[in-house]
Amino acid sequence: MLAPLEALAREAGRVVMAIYATPFAVHGKADDSPVTLADQQAEAVIVQGLRALAPAIPIVAEEAVAAGDVPDLAAGGGRFWLVDPLDGTREFVARNGEFTVNIALIEQGRPVLGVVLAPALDAGRGRLWSGVQGQGAWVDDAQGRRAIGCRGVPGAGLSVLGSRSHGDAAALQAFLAGRPVAEVVEAGSSLKLCLIAEGRADLYPRFGRTMEWDIAAGHAVLAAAGGRVCTLDGPALAYGKPGFENPHFVAQGLG
């Protein structure tokens, strides 16, 4: 299903970018997070496409869940989709380009397939990351499509990623104490997991609140590239939790 999912992400990305080019309005949801017409219209495109592609698999989509539409996951036999049509809405509103379209397939609590599109990168061409469990991970950017993989930690130390809009500097400093760190770089949305998958960074500790749809697609890409996402206690991060809220976690490459 990788090719049709990539095409679906591209289609949603075109919707996002069409609205990005307008003086769009920003509204607040019940949890005070922002939402725009781009979130809503991109989700509609993705949900329609997934239903056509695999009608038996339940879809957990961010804006639908916010509206109270939560599917019965038991109906999928352990498989369901996780969709974040616009991860990094704050980045979208700030117009810094660091927002993504995210589609992931979960099987028995694990992300086994994921597609992440950053539609504003590469001069609006869009940068696409994808990964399939047991098959590998890829990036499609201005240089073309190629396989990617996590790197070992450079001799100069870790390249650590922090959240641009949701960082906790004190918690990050405490977590990194005693580790060899070369740099700490801020980035938005699920781009952070993809940068580790691509071998351009090594570690992303997250201490703030996240939801499963925020990171599932990036987790799938990272896992397919040889990395992992674990809770601070060590076990692999699982999906399908009550309320779909994640604990604090660490995403990392080969180090």
Q: What is the pLDDT of residues 2-12, one digit of tens each?
A: 999 999 999 99
The helix-helix angle for 37-53 and 2-20 (nearest 10°) equals: 160
Task: Let me know whether 106 and 132 are in one domain.
Answer: yes
Task: Let me know whether 188 and 221 are in one domain.
Answer: yes
* Model pLDDT, residue 34: 84
Domain count, the chain: 2
Domain for residue 153, yes or no?
A: no
* Model pLDDT, residue 165: 64
* Of 107, 43, 62, residue with least CA distance to 214: 62
Mean pLDDT in residue range 155-183: 88
Q: Which of 148, 168, 189 is the last residue of a domain?
A: 148
* Model pLDDT, residue 166: 65
Strands 59-61 and 79-87, by their bridges, are parallel
* Model pLDDT, residue 193: 97
Share of the chain above pLDDT 90, in %: 84
How far apart are alpha carbons 21 and 244 in whole angstroms?
A: 32
Give, as one character, the DSSP assignment of residue 22: S
Task: Check which CATH number belongs to the domain holding 47 and give it.
Answer: 3.30.540.10
Mean pLDDT in residue range 129-144: 97
Q: Is residue 209 within 8 Å of residue 215, measured between CB atoms?
A: no
Task: Let me know whether 29 and 126 are in one domain.
Answer: yes
Using the Cα atoms of residue 78, residue 209, residue 16 and residue 122 in order, give the sign of their dihedral: negative
Q: Which of 117, 148, 179 is the last residue of a domain?
A: 148
* Model pLDDT, residue 110: 98
Is residue 255 pLDDT above 80, yes or no? no
pLDDT band, very low/low/confident/very high, at 167 (cuts 50, 70, 90)? low
Domain range for 90 is 2-148
CB count within 10 Å of CB 187 equals: 20
Domain for residue 129, yes or no?
A: yes
The token duo for 202 is 């090594």
* Model pLDDT, residue 189: 84
**Residue spans of beta strands (DSSP E) within 79-234:** 79-87, 100-107, 110-118, 127-132, 136-141, 144-148, 158-163, 181-187, 203-206, 228-231
* Model pLDDT, residue 32: 66
The string of pLDDT tens digits covering residues 71-88 is 999 989 999 999 999 999
How far apart are alpha carbons 11 and 135 in whole angstroms?
A: 24
Task: Let me know whether 50 and 117 are in one domain.
Answer: yes
How far apart are alpha carbons 185 and 36 in whole angstroms?
A: 27
Q: Is residue 213 within 8 Å of residue 89, measured between CB atoms?
A: no
pLDDT band, very low/low/confident/very high, at 30 (cuts 50, 70, 90)? confident
The string of pLDDT tens digits covering residues 33-73 is 888 999 999 999 999 999 999 999 999 999 999 999 999 99
Task: Let me know whether 53 and 141 are in one domain.
Answer: yes
Domain for residue 80, yes or no?
A: yes
Q: Which of 120, 148, 176 is the last residue of a domain?
A: 148
In 3-state terms the chain splits into helix, strand, coil percentages (rounded to 5) of 30, 30, 35
Task: Let me know whether 97 and 58 are in one domain.
Answer: yes
Mean pLDDT in residue range 94-103: 95
Is residue 164 pLDDT above 80, yes or no? no
Tell me what the pLDDT averaged over the chain comes to: 94
Is residue 31 pLDDT above 90, yes or no? no
